[in-house]
Structure 1
Amino acid sequence: MDQLVFVHGVNTRKDAGYGLEVENRDRLFKETAWAGAPVNIHNVYWGDLAAQFGYDLACLPSNGPKSASFGLLGGIATPGAVVQAQPLSSLASTDFGATVDAIFVTMIEESEAAGKPLTDDQIAKFRAAGEYAVNNAAVPPSWATGASSDQVIVSELRKRVAPSGAASFGLGDDIASAAKSLADRARNLVSSGIAPIIRDEASPLVARFLGDIVVYLYDRGTPSKRTKIREIVAADVNAAAIEAKKQSSKVVLIGHSLGGVILRDMLGDPSSGLDQNIKIDLLATVGSQPGLFQEMSLLGNATKAPQKVQLVPSIGSWWNVYDPVDLLSFRCAPMFQDVLDFEFSSVTGLINAHTSYFKRPRFYARLHERLKEIGIGA
């Protein structure tokens, strides 16, 4: 049984929705990326050691319209992509894959907001939608590029991801419900203006991002929070490696945002607590910043520019996934040897680009195909 260790990034706390988010993400990993092949998932949680804000972020501006949503496209659309009357059909004509992702991200968000785990039917639709979007990435389907309305988009998409169900645009249809919510948010953005929304929604994420970085890099306690975070991560990684060795299976490490930095910083550092003799078949950093930290010489290695940092021998493959719209994700190949940078363009916005990688059908569909290429999963 493969062992997957997932290390979360910034702005993650064990609030009311944390458990449900982990449950849904685990199911998507198991049933889409691993396609039913056995995998044991270790979810590393270090959020209790992250930055604390004594005034509950009262320092942030709060002049924007609080009722407005940072929904469809995360508040920033590709120029000309959002038309107030039929926003989904307009987006589909520009980027079909992004339209599919946006609908299913919203479906997951709505389920989690209601405190409901994803159903088997929703997981099946999610997987089918990801495969369909990826298979039609080069040449989008004609029905999508020529759709006359949002209703056509929903009806035609539903036929292809849920062929046994009715292609309705009414109540009781989770795809239609997500699409309607998405379209309503888009119209709200167009009518309300997006600049204040961007500031109000982006500022807390950026503040917590900066705070968590300070905690990891510069905390001077004894022991420091950085040391404690490393101990938590090392315990799960070492345990996963022991299990994988017993079963002659694979070890996969996935780090989101600062989680990817933490993993890359610990690998190859004898003082990190990681067993330096373990074999990591795949390290995947997603929406992460190892490249930025290396540019600033903040990672634990002696290599300086322009020389590239060598790949740690214990790592079989390293994939770094970034979204050009995600301002908190960066390339790694210019700074590190033997890392593959993958661009995952969501045509979305600041907040959604960084926080929704693990809710997008295309992400899991592509991860599944690439895992198969290196002998992992089904």
Structure 2
Amino acid sequence: MTLVYVHGIGNRPGRSYEAAARRREALFRRVLLPAAGLPDTPIVMPHWGCLTREPRWGLASLPHRGTERLGSDADEREALVEQSPSLLIVARQSVTDALDALYTLLEPRADDEHLLTRQAPVIVQYICRHESLHPHEPEHVRYPWLNEVHNDIEFVDRLVAEIWPPEGETLGAGDRIRDLFVSASRRFNPTAMVVGAGRRLVSANTALLLADVMQYTALRGTREQPGEVISLVARAIEEAAAPRVVLAHSMGGTIVYDLLSHYRPDLNVDVFLTVGSQVGLFEELSLFRESRPGEEAGQVPLPHNVRNWINVVDPADPLSFRVSPVFAGAGDYTYPSRAVWAHTAYLKQPTFHHRVGGRIAEALA
């Protein structure tokens, strides 16, 4: 068996991409594949982002604070930074969501990345143990210590002590993870992030999405002469040993569906797993090579070479779309990442990998 991962928008060559790829692969190996019952599975990650064109002026066309305002100099929207929900409030609703939020906000150095991915299975085991012991109970029953903490730092301190008790931790792992989690908790300010940096992040990602979509559709080529991106991804899937699991994020799902439905219908995939993807929207707009504009509305048959299709949607992700109303036989699942910019949060969170691994195991059974 082989896991083929096809990335989404904005994955240009450089240190940021390499760091994210290492972290993602480590979570695949330590959480997702063991949960799927396939711990030694090879992983292939074709990098199609290196084939796209860079914006000539480095996205200088995005709005920024240096632009002269049309109205008053006092922008009231920028004042919305006084209060925001705390991490502890989130934890009292769901400790799992609070942990995933911390992982999403981490900015680790390379050596810390190894520590965090090594410890991800420990976190998953801790959460699963409490969920199985108290399956229908509120969080304060599952985790009685929540009643003893009063702010985000106390929450992090107690959480780390519960997961990595001093007498059981290895080589000070709990101390270092505590420092990383504290730094992440201080960045947990949803209101400020949305009003300020979050707005710029969304704009940049939207611009890269538009750029990648337009470049892909313009340069994808024909079945007889496919473009570079199609050819690269096709080779990765073709060379993968069966059974094949293809996990595609965002625009990656669109590329893989186009590939399997039109360019390479001879390639068989046992599990096609799309995450935060736009496949459903693209088919509604008849943008695929196999789309049939003008036909009477009705569900599109599942491609004959796809055995199982699992689609994951975060309700807070503006770039994720359902597929089950559009494609017969495809299944949608909701996963709330609780992240400010949800589109890139899925693959950073250990809980996501654990749950997806379980779905893969069910599909392959």
Band the TM-score falls in, shorter-chain normalisation:
0.7 to 0.9
Q: Cα gap change, 1:183/1:24 in structure 2, threshold over 3 Å: closer, same or farther?
A: closer
The aligned amino acid for 2:49 is G
Displacement, 1:361?
1.2
Give 1:142's aligned residue: 143
Q: How does 1:69-80 map to 2 (within 5 A)?
A: none
Q: How does 1:133-172 map to 2 (within 5 A)?
A: 133=127, 136=131, 138-139=136-137, 140=139, 141-143=142-144, 146=147, 147-163=149-165
1:268 aligns with 2:268: no
1:129-182 C-alpha deviation (Å, 9 max, x unpaired): 234335537533333653422244223322443245589xx9972332233223
SS for the counterpart of 2:111 is coil
Compare 194-203 and 218-227 and name the one that shifted more: 218-227
- Asked if the contact 2:104–2:339 (Cα under 8 Å) also holds between the matched residues in 1, the reply is no
Sequence identity (%)? 28
- Asked if the contact 2:271–2:363 (Cα under 8 Å) also holds between the matched residues in 1, the reply is no
Displacement, 1:117?
6.2
1:288 aligns with 2:277: yes
Match of 1:116 among 85, 107, 111: 111
Q: Cα gap change, 1:251/1:49 in structure 2, threshold over 3 Å: closer, same or farther?
A: same
Give 1:69's aligned residue: none
Cα distance in structure 2, aligned partners of 1:144 and 1:263:
46
Displacement, 1:199?
2.2
Q: Cα gap change, 1:283/1:263 in structure 2, threshold over 3 Å: closer, same or farther?
A: same
Give 1:103's aligned residue: 102
The aligned amino acid for 1:365 is H
Q: TM-score by structure 2 length? A: 0.82
The aligned amino acid for 1:262 is I
The aligned amino acid for 2:10 is N
Match of 1:132 among 121, 126, 131: 126
- Asked if the contact 2:237–2:267 (Cα under 8 Å) also holds between the matched residues in 1, the reply is no
1:265-300 C-alpha deviation (Å, 9 max, x unpaired): 11121xx2x3x3343110001110001101111112
1:195 aligns with 2:187: no
Displacement, 1:324?
0.5
Cα distance in structure 2, aligned partners of 1:158 and 1:196:
30
The aligned amino acid for 1:156 is R
The aligned amino acid for 1:208 is L
Give 1:93's aligned residue: 92
Match of 1:318 among 303, 309, 325: 309
1:223-257 C-alpha deviation (Å, 9 max, x unpaired): 999711100011111000xx33xxxxx21001110
Displacement, 1:220?
8.4
How large is the RMSD of aligned CA atoms in angstroms? 3.0
Compare 215-224 and 227-236 and name the one that shifted more: 215-224
Cα distance in structure 2, aligned partners of 1:17 and 1:102:
20
- Asked if the contact 2:313–2:333 (Cα under 8 Å) also holds between the matched residues in 1, the reply is yes
Match of 1:358 among 334, 344, 347: 347
Match of 2:43 among 35, 41, 44: 41
Compare 5-14 and 302-311 and name the one that shifted more: 302-311
SS for the counterpart of 2:317 is coil
- Asked if the contact 1:284–1:318 (Cα under 8 Å) also holds between the matched residues in 2, the reply is yes
1:61 aligns with 2:56: no
Q: How does 1:207-356 map to 2 (within 5 A)?
A: 207-219=207-219, 227-240=227-240, 243-244=241-242, 250-269=243-262, 272=263, 274=264, 276-303=265-292, 304=295, 306-349=297-340, 351=341, 353-356=342-345
The aligned amino acid for 1:338 is G
SS for the counterpart of 1:265 is helix
Cα distance in structure 2, aligned partners of 1:289 and 1:263:
11
1:50 aligns with 2:52: yes
- Asked if the contact 1:154–1:175 (Cα under 8 Å) also holds between the matched residues in 2, the reply is no
Q: Give unpaired runs (5+ residues) of structure 1.
A: 65-79, 245-249
1:373 aligns with 2:335: no
Give 2:180's aligned residue: 178
- Asked if the contact 1:130–1:365 (Cα under 8 Å) also holds between the matched residues in 2, the reply is yes
Displacement, 1:9?
0.6
Q: Give unpaired runs (5+ residues) of structure 2.
A: 67-81
Cα distance in structure 2, aligned partners of 1:208 and 1:99:
29
* Equivalent pairs, count: 335
Displacement, 1:305?
5.5
